[in-house]
Amino acid sequence: MNLTNIGDLKESGFFIFKIASVVLLILYFIYAFVIVKQVILMTQTIDVAFKKPIKFIAYIHLFYASALLIYAIIM
């Protein structure tokens, strides 16, 4: 067996792993977006004293998910 074939096999395995990771991170981003929408609906429905911190945490989570997705696509 040629060493270039083994290298190609490793690269194709990494490529499949990367595609799977990006697909899962897209689902995670959609999940984070749904959380933001749910928090907005919750704060409109229920009057709570700490609306701003809850929304801030939800947006930080969405930002984290998008940054993670972009990083995975770039790398």
Of 7 and 68, the structure prediction assigns the larger pLDDT to 68
pLDDT (tens digit per residue) in 11-42: 677 888 889 999 999 999 999 999 999 999 99
Identify the domain containing residue 34 by its residue range: 22-74
Residue 36 lies in a domain: yes
Cβ neighbour number for residue 72 with a 10 Å cutoff: 14
| Whole-number Å distance between alpha carbons of 43 and 62 | 17
| Whole-number Å distance between alpha carbons of 28 and 60 | 14
Residue 3 lies in a domain: no
> Is the CB of residue 61 less than 8 Å from the CB of residue 35?
yes
Of 13 and 68, the structure prediction assigns the larger pLDDT to 68
Residue 16 lies in a domain: no
H-helix or E-strand spanning residue 58:
helix 51-74
Residue 7 lies in a domain: no
Question: Is residue 3 over pLDDT 70?
Answer: no
Query: How many structural domains compose the chain?
Result: 1
What global pTM score does this model have?
0.77
